[in-house]
Structure formats: C-alpha cells, structure tokens
Amino acid sequence: MFDLKQLRCFVTVATELNFRRAAERLNMTQPPLTRQIQLLEHELGVQLLERTKHSVKPTTAGQVFLVDAMRLLNLAEQAANTVRRASKGETGRVRVGFTGAAGHEIVPKLLAAAKRALPDIDVVVHELVSAAQIEAFAADAIDLGIMRPLGSRQKLESFLVEVEPLIVVLPAAHALAGCESIDLASLDRQPFIMHSPDDGKYFHDRTMSLFWSAKVMPDFVQYIDQTPTIISMVRAGLGAAIVPASARRFNFDSVVFRPIPGDAISAEMIMAWRADQAIPAVTALRLMAQDYFATPGH
C-alpha cells in the first residue's frame, strides 16, 4: 500500500509540473523523488506522469488520482491538527451535570463564556440533582458536575462556585408574611414542606441542622425532592419551607421570601470532577470555569 510520503511527492510534481522545482519544495534531490513516484506507480499498477526531456504532466489516470491524493493529504493534515489540539484540550467533548438551581443563571452564563474561550469544545449538559450526579460520576456518565457538596465514596475534587443564604418562603397569606425576617422559633410545630432526605439530602440535612441548633421542630407535612415543587406546595398554602436564596429566581407569585436573622447556615454550589480524570478537554474547561467563577461580577 502506498504511503503519505509517496502521495506528497506525486502531488508536488503534478502541481509543479517540474521535477527540479518539486524536489526543491520537498527539500530532497531528484533521484529519490523519482524513485518515490515509481514506487507509487508500481503499487497502483498505472502510469501517473508523462515524462519527456523538457516536461512532465499527469496522465489521464494521474489527473483522476490527483484529486483523491490531495483530499487524502488534507484529511491527514486535519487529523494531525485535531489530535494535537485535542492533546492540548483545545477540542473535544465534555459532559457537564448541573442542578436545577444552577440552570437559571450559573450554567447558561458559563456556557456562553466557554463558547468564547473554548469554541471547539463541545459541552453537553445534563440536569441532575446532586445525588444523581454522584451516581453519574460512578457510571462515568459525566465529566464535571455543578452541584451541592455531598459526601461520596468516590474521590472527587472540587472548587467553590457560589455561596448563598438559606431563607424562608411563606404563602403570601401566612400570618408571618408581614414580618421582615423569620425567627426559626416561630416555625416550631408549624406546617412545613421539607426537602427529601434522599434526592434532596443536601438541603434536608442543612435545614435539620438549623432546627436542631434552634431546638425547633416543625410539623413536616410533605417531603419533596426539588425546590420549585416545594415552592409550589407553599404557594398552595400547605406550609412554609426553607430554600436557598437563589429560589427567588423562579418568580413564583402568591409567596413571600424572608431572611433568617442571625448567622444562619449558607448553601454552597461547587464544581466537582473525578480525581483520576485526565482528559485534556475536561481539564481545559475546568480551569477556564475556575478562572471564570473567581472573577468578580462574572
């Protein structure tokens, strides 16, 4: 089978129409150039060039082969450039998991910044609760995760994306809705919509920590996984709830959001990745994201 060197020699001679000039372009002497052409013609079983003392030109078969030979050389060059860029993290595919809370502002803005900084990296996003992202890492289904920090048996590394306070959400007609802030003691034995201890584990544990420290125990009437559904339950008048401050972005009507006085527990959002991951495109996107989130006013 012919090789790329033989193709390159043939294409150069067929376009220069002169062995001397072709040899100069290829930084070689004429005898080895002629030998490469002969080997190619022998391999193909056809004459590719018509030679005289003073000229050289492609045969009919040579003209047909020239088109494909140039295409093959271009493809080989593209493949070489692609693999070089991939090794530097300039191209590739990265799978990113994200929570619903991150989907309103954090992820869209990050994707826009990534498109500008790393235009040839294909970012594929998957909306998953934090617990499901832990499972997705274990199944090698995502490369990066924008999630709440949860304990994991896997070796995950992370950096902080956002910190926000926890706040109380109440039906607009609630007796406490007129208060500027909500003391936790006022929620004792009151109907309360709680995050699930399974898929809502992060907020469930944070909220329970607040109640335990305040020696408060509401009446938990429902356990729900997702924050938007919790707010829907609150809007229906089923009880109060504690949610991250970013929940105000959902723009629910007939509810009010109130801060918790004092040094309440905050909620964190992180970007996580497997400690053993070594894909250049993933590393490039992670480093770009780390710089992006570290920039004030991003």
Domain that holds residue 202: 164-267
Same domain, 18 and 83: yes
Residue 225 has which token pair?
Answer: 């996984």
Tell which of 46, 61, 87 closes a domain. Answer: 87
Same domain, 258 and 184: yes
Residues 6+ apart with CB under 8 A from 107: 96, 98, 125, 146
Angstrom distance (rounded) from CA 241 to CA 257? 10
Same domain, 22 and 83: yes
Res 86: pLDDT = 62
Same domain, 136 and 280: yes
Among 24, 164, 40, residue whose Cα is nearest residue 99: 164
Same domain, 235 and 178: yes
What are the pLDDT tens digits along the chain (298 aa)?
Answer: 778 888 888 888 888 888 888 888 888 888 888 898 888 888 888 998 988 777 888 888 888 888 888 888 888 887 776 667 666 655 688 999 999 889 888 999 999 999 999 998 999 999 998 889 999 999 999 999 999 998 777 789 999 999 999 999 999 999 999 999 999 999 999 999 999 998 889 999 999 999 999 999 999 999 998 899 999 999 999 999 999 998 988 888 999 999 999 877 889 999 999 988 888 889 999 999 999 999 877 7
Angstrom distance (rounded) from CA 43 to CA 30? 20
Res 216: pLDDT = 94
Res 208: pLDDT = 94
Same domain, 249 and 168: yes
Res 265: pLDDT = 81
Here the CATH number for the domain that contains residue 283 is 3.40.190.10
Res 7: pLDDT = 85
Are the C-beta atoms of residues 266 and 242 closer than 8 Å to each other? no
Give all strands (DSSP E) within 32-98, no chain letters. Answer: 49-51, 56-58, 92-98
Same domain, 152 and 168: no
Here the CATH number for the domain that contains residue 48 is 1.10.10.10
Same domain, 131 and 172: no
Among 89, 131, 135, residue whose Cα is nearest residue 114: 89
Res 253: pLDDT = 92
Residues 6+ apart with CB under 8 A from 129: 99, 100, 199, 200, 225, 226
Same domain, 172 and 259: yes
Same domain, 156 and 188: no
Same domain, 152 and 282: yes
